[in-house]
Structure formats: structure tokens, C-alpha cells
Amino acid sequence: MPKELARPSWEEYFMAITDLVAQRATCVRRKVGAILVRDRRIVATGYNGAPSGIRHCLEVGCLREELAVPSGERHELCRGLHAEQNAIIQAALHGVSLQSSMLFCTNMPCSICSKMLINAGITKIYYREGYADSMAAEMLSEAGVPLVQVAADEGQDR
């Protein structure tokens, strides 16, 4: 009799989809994907990259890289939007409320994205890797938004 494989949880399915969304990213430093889920349905997706109609960093290079700006600092020195920001904007463009939604993201949100997610009504955040921004975790905790780190699957390249 064949051995039954353990069925992944719905959280693991959504993280796998988030990893796939990240492959669309146009950032030369890090590929980040985000999906917003309500009632176990995807309502919006986003990946990090330049605004619509603007040349991407893959084409023009990375100013942050040129200036050696550390991760988590000087967000204004970037052509791109974060994956979470693009997911929120996608929902707004299509008239989709994010109230009571959950975020799945390949990285923990920065403080700027955390403020946006709190005000958008996000109730829980699942993420794979940390981020160099301690203020984000403090604000999310104060707002009562739980952070859940999800380990990468074995064999998954990161």
C-alpha cells in the first residue's frame, strides 16, 4: 500500500503561491511577493517593482545598491514599491476592501508597509523571512496584528 503524503495546510498553500508571485519582482536586491487573503480566497497580489509605466531597476540599475544603502533604511531612495504596497494598491484599483484580510508575504513587512497594513484592516501576517526593521514588529504588536513566521519547505531554494 502506498505511503500517504501529508497534505499541506492552507497556510502552506498560500505561502507557496506567495513564493510564485515573488518571481515577478523586478528588484535587483530581493524578490518579494505578497498576497492578501480573505475567507481563504486571494483578493490581491503584489510584488516589488517600479510603478506602472516607469522603467524597472532591472533596466536602469539600483540606486540603493550604488549608494550602499543597508536593507531597511532610506526607503525613499528606491524606484520600486514594496510587494505589500502593490497588493494594497491592486485591491484599491479594483474596489476590494481589505478589512479582515490576512497578508502572506515572503518577507516581514517594513514599518512603512506595516502602517499601511494596520490601517487597511489586516488581521494577521504570515511571512517567511525577517526584515531589518524592529519598529514594524513593535507597531504590529501594539495594533494587535499577529506575526506568524512560516518556515521554508525543505529543498526550496531561497
Is 82 marked within a binding site? yes
Is 27 marked within a binding site? no
Alpha carbon distance 87, 48 (integer Å) = 10
Active site residue 4: no
Alpha carbon distance 59, 40 (integer Å) = 36
Q: Which of 12, 84, 129, 154 is catalytic?
A: 84
Question: Dihedral of CA 21/19/57/48: which sign?
Answer: positive
The residue among 108, 110, 48, 38 whose CA lies nearest residue 79 is 48
**Bind-site residues for Zn(2+):** 82, 110, 113
**Bind-site residues:** 82, 110, 113
Active-site positions read 84
